Amino acid sequence: MSTTFAGQAILITGASEGIGRALALELARERPRLTLVARNRERLESLAEQCRQLGAEVGTVCADLANEPDCARAVREALARFGSLDILVNNAGITMW
């Protein structure tokens, strides 16, 4: 049985590069409603456009998730845009290098 994410409201943190970016692009093919969250606005907007071209409905939030108010704002903006939040991919982080 295949899982589909069509129409699901998905928030992905750390979305502008690495695993978050790859996941967003892969999910976009299934036409979800994505909220992409990252610190770098330019990379975030570039990814959002690519996801839209693949069929996703996309909103972005430029935020530093080390800052608690930014975390709350990211969730608020996702809820305001899509009315619900079905899946949270908590991927933001940094490497020790």
Give the span between the Cα atoms of 71 and 64, in whole angstroms. Answer: 8
Q: Tokens for 71?
A: 């975390």
25 Cβ contact list (under 8 Å, min separation 6): 47, 50, 51, 54
Q: How much is the pLDDT for 95?
A: 67
Q: What is the pLDDT of residues 27-82, one digit of tens each?
A: 999 999 999 999 999 999 999 999 999 999 999 999 999 999 999 999 999 999 99
Among 60, 55, 10, residue whose Cα is nearest residue 34? 10
